Amino acid sequence: MSQDRLIKLVTKGDEKGVGKGHTYYTFKNKKKVERKIELKKYNPIARKHTVYKEAKK
């Protein structure tokens, strides 16, 4: 993976805070997306889909 385009996505967990801190790594098209991204992805610790926000590496 090219490290210059790699971003880290971190979750705050579900409503009760279960699964807090789980991370995913992915790419972002920096030419088209200038803001921090938020994605709903599966959290295996909470066993449901939660919101992941872009964080510093």
The pLDDT tens digits for 9-45 are: 999 988 898 999 999 999 988 888 888 999 999 999 9
What confidence category does residue 50 fall into, taking pLDDT thresholds of 50, 70 and 90?
very high
Query: Phi/psi class of residue 26: alpha, beta or left (left: φ > 0; alpha: ψ in -120 to 50)?
Result: beta
Q: What is the pLDDT of residue 29?
A: 86
pTM of the model: 0.83
Q: What is the pLDDT of residue 41?
A: 96
- Set out the domains of the chain in order of their start, with CATH numbers: 6-55 (2.20.28.120)
Q: What is the pLDDT of residue 1?
A: 63
Query: Phi/psi class of residue 15: alpha, beta or left (left: φ > 0; alpha: ψ in -120 to 50)?
Result: alpha
